[in-house]
Structure 1
C-alpha cells in the first residue's frame, strides 16, 4: 500500500501526518518510543528513527477521516533539521558540497512573488464580491470576519446578526490570541 507522510514542527512539538483514509478500519497502530515511531496498518508500515529524542508521555496520535496525526513532544525547543537521523556515510566517500546561495535566494524570491500574486488575486476577488453586494451582505462580511479573528467570512446577515461569530481555525491548528 502506498501511503504518504509529511511533518512540521513548532518550538514544542513535531507533528507527523500520515495520509491514510479510514485508518480505524485499517487497524492502524502507533508505537511511540524516545527515538522511534512505528506505525502499522493493513498492508502499510512506517518506521522512523527520530532526529532527536522526544518525551513519550506527552506524545500522542489521533485518527481523522483521511489521515493519522502523530504529535511528538520535543525534549528541548531546538529546531530539527530533519525528521529522521540519516545513516552516517563513510568519510572518504562524502563529497564536499557547496551551496549556491544566490540560487537559493532566487528560488525563494520566486516563491514569495508567486504567493504575493496569489494573495493579491484573492484580495481582488473578495473586494469584487464585497463591492457588488448589498449593504446587508457587507455588514455580514464585516461582522463575521472581525468577530472570528479572520477565520470566518459569511454573507448571511440573518445568521450572523443573531449572535457573536465564533472563531473557527482550520483543522489541525489552534487559535491563540496575539498578546498571550
Structure 2
C-alpha cells in the first residue's frame, strides 16, 4: 500500500511530509541515500528517486502524531521543478510509488468551479480579473489609468484613447458624482 505525501522546498532543503497516523506504532523506517528516499511502515511503502542529489549526513526524519517529516539537505541550492526524476528514469526503480499531485491542475479546476458558482458582482469581478491577467501590458495600463482616474466609474482597454487625457468620471444613470471633501 502506498503512502500519501507532499513536499516543499527552500534554498537549502527539501521537506517531504508523509501522512501516516501513529507512525511510531507502525514501526516506520526511513532510509536516505544520495538520490533516494525509502520509507516503510507495516503495510506502507514510499520509494522516491529524487530529481537532484542530497547530502544524507545532513538529512533527517521525525515522527509526529499524524505524519512523518523527512528533511533533506540539498547538495546545491538549485530550485527543484519536481521531487522525483521523470517517469522514464524512475521506471528503472523497482517498487511502485505514490502518485504526486499536479497542483497546477487542481488550482485550475478549483478556479473553474469558483467561476461557475460566482454570481452577480463576484462573477463580474472574476471576468475583469480574467481579462486583466490575459491582457498585454498596454491594455493593463489602460485599465488601471481609466479605473483610477474615473473613481471606478470607467474601465477602458484602449490605451490609445486613455493615454491622451484624463479620464472623466461617468457615474451610472440617475446618480450624481460628488467630490469627497465637498
Q: Which has the higher contact order (CA 8 A, sep 6+)?
A: 2
Larger-Rg structure: 2
TM-score, length basis structure 1: 0.49
